Copies of this chain bind each other. A is one copy, B any other.
Amino acid sequence: MKKPPLHRFLNKKSREATDTGFSNLASAQGSRLMESSGKFRVKRSGVRSLLSFSFAHELILMSWPRFLLVVLLFYVVVNTFFASLYYLGGMDQFMGGLAGTGLQAFSEAFFFSAQTLTTVGYGRINPSGFIANVLASAEALLGLMSFALVTGLLYGRFARPVVNMQYSENLLIAPYQDGMAMMLRLANARNNDLAEVEADVILSLLTEEGGRSIRKYFTLELERSRVTALPLTWTLVHAIRSESPLVEMNAANLIDLEAEILVTIKGFDTTFSQTVFSRHSYAADAFVWNARFLPCFHRSEDGIETILEMDKLSKYELLT
């Protein structure tokens, strides 16, 4: 799909951003760089597997159900493995066993293994022979080590920075002061105190240069790009003045140029002493013209607190 050249739309004063870290070669890229959730649509190939794969980090990042399943699977596999070893070593290496041979004996070996791996060690059935004792000593150590690992992983899961920044579903373009402005609204959905919050907004446009499909990036200057705290909402306002790349655009242009707005929010979570980042992306179809956000907080009934209604964050009204 042939793209219009950008000079048809852009004011000469608009300066291309050179510090985005994204590439300009659009034909080599997927259709959109970032999902609206802020995740980059990039896959790595050809990495030597040991470099790209970190077992611990995978276990820290995977979902809770998946993580618990991995733990359960590990438990069953290790117990089956050791039960087989005990069984092969001979159940006469044990005292207190109730079964002879066969499935019952294997099941007894399995449960003995579980008692050893978890270090619960009831001891009714216990190793008396040399082989069983060596195996059980090894399994108990393995149990402790695995458990240490799980403890570390669980803490790693808690210690990860968590920010639940919520963004308005739409970007509004509406009258502002003497002209127009692009606005988007965000709020911290958690009660933790964020300090020194900074916003960075980049506009990406797809155009054509010398027959090649090229993606250009522009930093959109904000009326306020930093707040000292974020207890309520924050409306990011980009006034569309003469230097703005949006100055002579309309809704159709932006869709033609496959406009994408990339938002990066950085803040400091004072509760856990961590710098947190949040990214969000708006495609051209999320732009709404001539609208303004409705209020989304009010005074509590007792007059003391402010109630922030997170479900009204995206609410706007069209201006006539």
Using a CB–CB distance below 8 Å, which chain A residues touch chain B? Answer: 18-23, 25, 27-33, 40-47, 51-52, 54, 56-57, 60-61, 71-72, 75, 79, 95-96, 98, 107, 111, 114-116, 118-124, 126-128, 130, 133, 136-137, 140-141, 143-145, 147-162, 164, 166, 189-193, 195-197, 200, 202, 223-224, 226-234, 264, 266, 268, 270-277, 279, 295, 297-300, 303-312
Give A237 to B202 CA distance when docked, in angstroms.
22
Q: Is the CB of A118 within 8 A of B145?
A: no
Known: A114-B137, A118-B144, A195-B266. 19 other contacts (CB 8 A): A19-B228, A21-B234, A28-B295, A30-B303, A31-B304, A33-B231, A45-B309, A51-B190, A52-B189, A60-B158, A115-B140, A121-B122, A123-B124, A147-B151, A161-B272, A200-B228, A202-B228, A229-B264, A268-B275
CB distance from A305 to the nearest CB of B (A): 4
User: A56 — which chain B residues lie within 8 A by C-beta?
Assistant: 157-158
Q: Is the CB of B226 within 8 A of A19?
A: yes
User: A223 — which chain B residues lie within 8 A by C-beta?
Assistant: 18
User: A19 — which chain B residues lie within 8 A by C-beta?
Assistant: 224, 226-228
Q: Give the interface SS of chain A, mostly helix, strand, loop or mixed.
A: mixed
Give A230 to B23 CA distance when docked, in angstroms.
10
Q: From the candidates B122, B164, B192, B229, name the one contacting A122 in the complex (CB within 8 A).
A: B122
> Given contacts A21-B229, A307-B45, are A119 and B118 in contact (CB under 8 A)?
yes
Q: Is the CB of B195 within 8 A of A22?
A: no
Give A171 to B115 CA distance when docked, in angstroms.
59
Q: Is the CB of B153 within 8 A of A306?
A: no
Give A32 to B122 CA distance when docked, in angstroms.
60
In this complex, the member of A29, A124, A193, A306 whose beta carbon has the largest number of chain B beta carbons within 10 angstroms is: A306
Closest to A133 in B: B111
Give A47 to B20 CA distance when docked, in angstroms.
32
User: A114 — which chain B residues lie within 8 A by C-beta?
Assistant: 133, 136-137, 140-141
User: A227 — which chain B residues lie within 8 A by C-beta?
Assistant: 19-21
User: A47 — which chain B residues lie within 8 A by C-beta?
Assistant: 189, 310-311
User: A151 — which chain B residues lie within 8 A by C-beta?
Assistant: 147-148, 151-152, 154-155
Give A116 to B119 CA distance when docked, in angstroms.
10
User: A150 — which chain B residues lie within 8 A by C-beta?
Assistant: 144-145, 148
In this complex, the member of A223, A234, A298 whose beta carbon has the largest number of chain B beta carbons within 10 angstroms is: A298
CB distance from A15 to the nearest CB of B (A): 14
Give A150 to B141 CA distance when docked, in angstroms.
11
User: A107 — which chain B residues lie within 8 A by C-beta?
Assistant: 130, 133
Closest to A162 in B: B54
